[in-house]
Chains A and B, each alone.
Chain A
Amino acid sequence: EAGVAQSPRYKIIEKRQSVAFWCNPISGHATLYWYQQILGQGPKLLIQFQNNGVVDDSQLPKDRFSAERLKGVDSTLKIQPAKLEDSAVYLCASSLDFGGEQFFGPGTRLTVL
């Protein structure tokens, strides 16, 4: 069974630029999560989708972050414009259903200069 795929693995941008991350969850998984992991901290949930609907985006900085999950499969997380404090690893996870075990992708490491 293929795992959660993420791209790119690494991205370096300058502040005020835009960036997008892509996630392809495990086939058949209805729930998809985006986490932000800042160096030295545990992952923090940004947004949770159930199929193509948002379940929880309470910790998503909506003035600069956006996410979508068209057709309830893969998902894109965008930052526009980026700030220095957005430097982090962005992890995508999926679960078969709401509340199920979460499987994590390898993450995208973002560096904002």
Chain B
Amino acid sequence: AQSVTQPDIHITVSEGASLELRCNYSYGATPYLFWYVQSPGQGLQLLLKYFSGDTLVQGIKGFEAEFKRSQSSFNLRKPSVHWSDAAEYFCAVGAREYGNKLVFGAGTILRVKS
């Protein structure tokens, strides 16, 4: 069965520090991978996506993610966190073989301390 694991429920980082959010997936097909961000009371906004090609993907707001097939991972990174990055982050996976239906992880809540 398809599944996405985000091991960290909460992460707290200092403003200006680097950030890495972990995502591991289990999927029986070549995956498409996504990172979404959700601020309180808001819908999900797409940060970046990986379909194929270069395994290092650049997204909006200075985020990037690296697809590592051997580790079944798609970790999200940012070199310097801003207070406005505080939100909940979701990793999601889909595949054409499964009708492009997205399966989401449980999310990681990011807190930024000044």
Q: Are A106 and B99 in contact (CB under 8 A)?
A: no
What's the least CB distance linking B30 to chain A, in Å? 13
| Chain B positions within 8 Å of A91 at CB level | 43-44
**Residue B104 is within 8 A (CB to CB) of chain A in the complex:** yes
Indicate whether B61 reaches chain A with its CB closer than 8 angstroms: no
Closest to B107 in A: A42
Q: Is the CB of A42 within 8 A of B43?
A: no
Decide: A104 and B96 in contact? CB cutoff 8 A. no
Residue A14 is within 8 A (CB to CB) of chain B in the complex: no
Q: How many Å from the CB of A30 to the closest CB on chain B?
A: 13
Cβ A43 vs Cβ B101 within 8 A: no
Least Cβ–Cβ distance between B44 and chain A, in angstroms: 4
**With a CB–CB cut-off of 8 A, which chain A residues contact B107?**
40-42
- Nearest CB in chain A to that of B42: its residue: A106
Task: Confirm or deny: A1 has a beta carbon within 8 angstroms of a beta carbon on chain B.
Answer: no
Taking a contact as CB atoms closer than 8 A, the residue among B43, B90, B101 that contacts A107 in the complex is: B43
Encode B1-43 as 1/0 by CB contact (under 8 A) with A.
0001000000000000000000000000000000010000111
Q: Could you tell me if B44 and A40 are in contact, using CB atoms closer than 8 angstroms? A: no
Interface band, chain A = 20 to 34
| Binary flags per residue of A39-66, CB closer than 8 Å to B gives 1, else 0 | 0111111001000000110000000000
A110 at the interface (CB under 8 A from B): no
Chain A residues, Cβ within 8 Å of B104: 42-44
Residues of chain B lying within 8 A (CB to CB) of residue A88: none
Whether A101 contacts B46 by the Cβ 8 Å rule is yes
Residue numbers in B under 8 Å from A103 (CB-CB):
46
B residues adjacent to A (C-beta < 8 A): 4, 36, 41-46, 49, 90, 92, 94, 96, 99-102, 104-107
Q: Footprint of B on A, CB under 8 Å?
A: 3-4, 40-45, 48, 55-56, 91, 93, 98-99, 101-107
* 25 pairs, CB–CB < 8 Å, chain A vs chain B: A4-B43, A40-B107, A41-B106, A42-B4, A42-B92, A42-B104, A42-B105, A42-B106, A43-B90, A44-B104, A45-B102, A48-B99, A48-B101, A56-B99, A56-B101, A98-B99, A101-B49, A102-B46, A103-B46, A104-B36, A104-B43, A105-B43, A106-B42, A106-B43, A107-B43
